[in-house]
Structure 1
Amino acid sequence: MKTRFCRTVLGDVPISRMGLTYAHEHIVIDDCYVTAKHPEFLLNDAEKISTELTDFYELGGRTVVDTMPANSGRNVLLSARVSRSSKVNIIVPTGIHLEMYYPQNHWRYTLSEDRLTRLFIADIEEGIDRFDYSGPVVQRTEHRAGLIKLATGNEAFTPHQELIFRAVVNAHLETGAPILTHTNFGKQALEQALLFERLGAKLDHVVLSHVDRAKDVGYNRAVLETGVRLEYDSTFRWALKGEENHTLTLLEHLLPAFPDQITMGMDMAKNAYWKSYGGAPGLGYLIETLPTFLKSKGMEAYFENIFYKNPAHLYAFAPPTKG
């Protein structure tokens, strides 16, 4: 039987070596269309990134899942460099981000479902383009994608977004690569889960991000009942706002019923959140604070589920089922 593995930027790693894993991060965001408008998203200083990751490693962190897909700030060579220098495993994605990350004439709007499927599969099986599909030539590197991302906004899915769903699921089924999604404050999360179910995705290898921002326990429960995985990342955001920590409330109510389906991360897309950029709270926040909360509720055992068992299962490649 083949050893189950995740695919990191430096190669395949047995899931037994993933260790403590943050399930949704932004480690590298290079100069791109969106950073020209939002420079607070720029994360491309190799020394600062390596410093933050090294601090994470010293706290016990071993793997992070980066979430910038094709041509939206991805720089696979920089990702490989900071992974080597920090010793932290980095899983990088293929796929397509929200529309705001691309100009209106971008190739994402003209490629067919099959062409997008083949592009995602090439990133996973052959290697990511060193230019990230921003130029007239493609030079594939040795660094391969370990998951597929898509994103939806506040409104009902558009035909274009549904095409991306189909291409993502096609690539997922053909390669076994896991799927990660962006939701806007948890909106359309249930609709995402139901569409993945209709398309035949392996729901235990699908994770919907930011659903804790929806706040509502009943809504989160309904999404979990479909069988998908959820990723929560707003623990520090509620603390900064000085309001009820809705993420912790969700954990208290839902972890006992869904211990195998919840993962966590920091989603630090703004450089102001990074200690190495002079900001706060820094990547180590969850490691430093969550055990205290779990202990206060008699839920210490769930730390291993959130950061070890669940991401190891979720981000492992599943056996391909089509192609």
Structure 2
Amino acid sequence: MVARVRTVLADVHPDDLGVCDAHDHLFLRSPKLPGRELDDVPAARSELAAFRATGGASLVQWTPYGMGRRTAELPALSSATGVHVVCATGLHQAAHYEPEFLDAVRGRLAHVFVSELTTGIGGSGVRAGLIKVAGGFHALDAHARWTMAAAAEAHHETGAPIAVHLEHGTGALDVIDLLCDELGVPPHRVILGHLNRSPDGVVQRQAAEAGCYLAFDGPSLAHHATDWRMPDAVKALADAGFGHRLLLGGDTVVSGARSVDGGPGMPYLLRRVRPRLVAALGAELVGHILTRNPGRAFAVDWP
């Protein structure tokens, strides 16, 4: 079998992804973000087109189950803009859901994940291409352990990669201990997000040494240690031999952050972050981080 990346239109060869925003959101709703939802289809189309205009060719949406993915809209958006879109299943922190919603999936969460990865999401015809879960701030609570156990079960059945929201960039080693050591998920199938938000070079190197992918995402969030520290952190990892484990993403999570609404948005990753990284790392390595690495990280021998 040839490993393929599962997009909303079809399974594609990893080399066909092109320049990839490895962590972003076209749609997202949460009770934690009232009034700032990403829920506007024309705005999503314009944002995706703006990303395409800066050289973007593929985008991985990490919005999980129950957070307004607007899955049925994704194939048309991908077709209209010429951008490959990968959709996630999974579950975020408990704070992003009503208690009744969580009660309804108690005991069947792994089944939900597997069904969305293999059969499809509702009646949309779209199949998810990854599982997204989340840790807490320097800890994994009972909810995180439950969702990660379900994600591991779904991974073992499908081979799907597991992408992890690290709260403020913390808890990476706890996630590795649970997912990889206890639950048997191969490290190269784990993608750790937001590591740039806690610029601890020791933890970043330990996570890379474990074999996980490291996502440096969210450069549009100025209150995080992102743009001005990211080049040094990425260069240190690349110099240590881990350039093949690095991913880049924009992580646009609220409406005001979209470029079409006056924020930096998805184009910022390629318009501003890429040149800065090229100056620090060279064009060849940055090209690999934006193209080859996502292909390897998200490609699966789908059953």
TM range (shorter): over 0.9
What amino acid does structure 1 have at the position aligned with 2:161?
A: P
Question: For residue 269 of structure 2, what is the amino acid of its counterpart?
Answer: L
Deviation by residue 1:41-100 (Cα, 9 ceiling, x = unmatched): x12222221111112112221110101111112211122221122111111111101111
Deviation at 1:13, TM superposition (A): 1.3
Q: Tell me which of 266, 270, 285 is aligned to 2:254.
A: 270
Asked whether the 8 Å contact 1:234–1:247 carries over to 2, the reply is no
Contact kept in structure 2, 1:34 and 1:72, CA below 8 Å: no
- In the alignment, the residues of structure 2 paired with residue 219 and residue 20 of structure 1 have an alpha-carbon distance, to the nearest angstrom, of 27
SS at match of 1:230: strand
Corresponding residue to 2:149 among 131, 142, 166: 166
Contact map agreement 2:217 2:249 (CA 8 A) in 1: yes
Which one of 213, 219, 232 corresponds to residue 229 of structure 1?
213
The answer to whether the 8 A contact 2:172-2:203 is kept is no
Secondary structure of the residue aligned to 2:214 is: strand
Q: Distance in 1 between matches of 2:105 and 2:64?
A: 18
How far apart in 1 are the matches of 2:302 and 2:119?
18
After the TM superposition, which of the residue ranges 153-162 and 61-70 deviates more from structure 2? 153-162
Q: Deviations along 1:211-243, whole A, 9 cap, x unmatched? A: 1111121121122111111111143434x7799
2:92 maps to: 97
Q: Does 1:218 align with 2:205?
A: no
Q: Which deviations, in whole Å up to 9, do the C-alpha atoms of 1:172-215 show, x marking residues without a partner?
A: 12111111110111111111112121211122121010011111
Q: Which amino acid counterpart does residue 212 of structure 1 have in structure 2?
A: N
In 2 relative to 1, CA 118–291 (structure 1 residues): closer, same or farther, beyond 3 Å?
closer
- Does the Cα contact within 8 Å between 2:93 and 2:144 map onto a contact in 1? no
Tell me the SS of whatever aligns to 2:106. Answer: coil
> Given the superposition, is the C-alpha separation of residues 157 and 109 from structure 1 closer, same or farther in structure 2, using an over 3 Å criterion?
farther
Per-residue CA distance 1:81-122 (angstroms, 9 max, x = gap):
21122111111111101111101232357612xx21111111
Q: Which residue of 2 aligns with 1:289?
A: 272
Q: Which residue of 2 aligns with 1:69?
A: 64
Alpha-carbon deviations, 1:18-58, whole Å to 9, x = none?
111111001112xx5527x5221x12222221111112112
**What do residues 114-151 of structure 1 show as CA deviations (whole Å, max 9, x unaligned)?**
x211111110111101xxxxxxxxxx331111100111
Q: 1:284 to 1:72 in 2, by over 3 A?
A: same
Alpha-carbon spacing, 1:108–1:211, altered in 2? closer, same or farther (3 Å): farther
For residue 34 of structure 1, what is the aligned residue in structure 2?
31
Instruction: Name stretches of at least 5 consecutive residues in structure 1 with no aligned partner.
Output: 130-139
- How many angstroms apart in 2 are the aligned matches of 1:275 and 1:180? 25
217 and 75 in structure 1: CA distance in 2 versus 1, 3 angstrom threshold: same
Amino acid at match of 1:159: A
Residue pairs, 1:112-261, within 5 angstroms: 112=107, 115-129=108-122, 140-198=123-181, 199-238=183-222, 245-257=228-240, 258-261=242-245
- For 1:80, the equivalent position in structure 2 comes to 75
Using the size of structure 1 for normalisation, the TM-score is 0.87
Shift of 1:297: 2.8
Identity %: 28
Change beyond 3 A, Cα 1:293–1:71: same
| Root-mean-square deviation over aligned CA pairs | 2.1
Gap regions ≥5 residues in structure 2:
none
Secondary structure at the aligned position of 1:204 is classed as helix
Of structures 1 and 2, the larger Rg is shown by 1
Contact in 2 for aligned 1:261/1:310 (Cα 8 Å)? yes
Which structure 1 residue ranges, 4+ long, deviate > 4 Å from structure 2? 240-244
Aligned partners of 2:103, 2:210: CA distance in 1, in Å?
Answer: 29
Q: Distance in 1 between matches of 2:256 and 2:100?
A: 31
Please report the TM-score for the alignment, with normalisation by the length of structure 2: 0.92
* One-letter identity of the residue aligned with 1:128: I
Aligned equivalents of 2:53 and 2:101: distance in 1? 41
